[in-house]
Structure 1
């Protein structure tokens, strides 16, 4: 018995001197994962019938071809009548007077304000 004890001591001493990275791996099985994988492997999808698209997909038909517009028969007379008319000018006197009275002169006053020289800054010593 002492020989076995001595051998066990020597082996234990050698194991403790060398670095061992091996560890006893406890195999823990994940029951949920195993069940999931088994069900995935056992799944057989139902075959798709050839006429499955009927009623879901609408039949495509081309829209009717548009017709080119036809110019009026008296185009020259309509163009000359258009050239003879004066454009309608809308006068907004009330809007212009109210905007000037409020201190705003419109676009011209704004542009004049932008063109003014900047005032010189006086430095206090």
Structure 2
């Protein structure tokens, strides 16, 4: 029976030993929590934002467009003017870089591609 008692006592000692090892506290964590609880931030001045933050000012209100005083005369002058037309005597360029004007560009784009010569 004494052997059984020793085995039980050894088992309980081992259990106490492992329980005490798990309940040990972490010294670094304790030190961190102590410093964290003792930390008092410096009070911030009420005017700390002065000089850092700019005052907001909304954009100025745009002025409404005004009609010309003699609208009829300006419209008749516009109707009488001839629009500027690009010259139609543009030679067909070989590349798109030399194309000027929308009509010349469209004509260039509609041209057939040159056939490649077969290499013998």
Aligned partner of 1:77 among 73, 76, 82: 73
User: Partners in 1 of 2:37 and 2:61 — Cα distance?
Assistant: 54
User: Partners in 2 of 1:10 and 1:57 — Cα distance?
Assistant: 76
Q: CA deviation at 1:42?
A: 1.0
> What is the correspondence of 1:81-120 to structure 2 with a 5 Å cutoff?
81-91=77-87, 93-94=90-91, 96-99=92-95, 106-109=108-111
Structure (1 or 2) with the larger CA radius of gyration: 1
Partner of 1:24: 18
Say whether residues 1:60 and 2:62 are aligned partners: no
- Specify which structure has the bigger relative contact order, considering alpha-carbon pairs within 8 angstroms and separated by 6 or more residues: 2
The secondary structure found in structure 1 opposite 2:18 is coil
The secondary structure found in structure 1 opposite 2:40 is coil
Residue ranges of structure 2 left out of the alignment (5+ in a row): 96-106, 114-120
User: Partners in 1 of 2:63 and 2:79 — Cα distance?
Assistant: 29
- Per the normalisation by structure 1, the TM-score is 0.54
User: Partners in 2 of 1:47 and 1:74 — Cα distance?
Assistant: 68
User: Partners in 2 of 1:23 and 1:84 — Cα distance?
Assistant: 109
Residue ranges of structure 1 left out of the alignment (5+ in a row): 16-20, 100-104, 114-125
RMSD, aligned α-carbons? 3.3
- Per the normalisation by structure 2, the TM-score is 0.56
User: Partners in 2 of 1:32 and 1:9 — Cα distance?
Assistant: 38
User: Partners in 2 of 1:56 and 1:65 — Cα distance?
Assistant: 27
Q: CA deviation at 1:65?
A: 2.6
